[in-house]
A and B are shown apart, each in its own frame.
Chain A
Amino acid sequence: MMPDLGSYAQYVLSSYAVSLVLIVVLVAMSMHRARKVKAELEAIEARVKRQSGERATRNG
Chain B
Amino acid sequence: MSFWEYANPVKFIRTTDRLLPWLSVTAVLCLAVGLIWGFFFTPDDFRQGSTVKIIYLHVPSALMAINAWLMMLVASIIWIVRRHHVSALAARAAAPVGAMMTVIALATGAIWGQPMWGTWWVWDPRLTSFLILFLFYLGYIALWSAIEDDDTAADLTSILCLVGSVFALLSRYAVLFWNQGLHQGASLSLDKEENVHDVFYFPLLVSIAGFVLLFIALVFLRTQTEIRARRARALQARERLA
Q: Which residues of A contact B (CB under 8 A)?
A: 1, 3-9, 11-12, 14-16, 18-19, 22-23, 26-27, 30-31, 33-34, 37-38, 40-41, 44-45, 47-48, 51
Contact = CB atoms under 8 A, between A and B. Distances in A.
A3 B40 contact: yes
A44 B115 contact: no
B44 to A, nearest CB: 8
A29 to B, nearest CB: 8
Q: What class of interface size applies to chain B in its complex with A?
A: 35 or more
A8 B114 CA distance: 10
B235 A30 contact: no
Given A8-B115, A16-B57, A37-B225, A26 B218 contact: yes
Nearest to B109: A15
Contacts of B58: 15
Interface string B5-29: 0000000000000000000000000
For the complex of A and B, list the 7 residue pairs with the smallest distance between their C-beta atoms, beginning with the closest.
Answer: A5-B50, A41-B232, A15-B108, A19-B57, A15-B54, A34-B225, A41-B228
B115 A18 contact: no
Interface of B: 35, 39-40, 44, 49-51, 53-54, 57-58, 61, 96-97, 100, 103-104, 107-108, 111-112, 114-115, 214, 218, 221-222, 224-225, 228-229, 231-232, 235-236, 238-239, 242
Given A15-B58, A34-B222, A41-B232, A22 B53 contact: no
B100 A23 contact: yes
A11 B39 contact: no
Interface of B is mostly: helix
A27 to B, nearest CB: 7
Given A6-B49, A11-B114, A34-B222, 14 more contacts: A3-B40, A8-B115, A11-B54, A15-B111, A19-B104, A22-B103, A22-B104, A23-B214, A33-B225, A34-B225, A37-B229, A41-B228, A47-B239, A51-B242
A19 B108 contact: yes
Contacts of B228: 37-38, 41
A30 B115 contact: no
Given A8-B51, A15-B54, A15-B57, A3 B39 contact: yes
Given A30-B218, A41-B231, A51 B239 contact: yes
Contacts of A18: 104, 107-108, 111
A11 B100 CA distance: 20
23 contacts: A3-B40, A8-B51, A12-B51, A12-B53, A14-B111, A15-B53, A15-B58, A15-B108, A16-B35, A18-B108, A18-B111, A19-B104, A22-B100, A23-B104, A30-B225, A33-B225, A34-B224, A37-B225, A37-B232, A38-B225, A38-B228, A44-B236, A51-B242
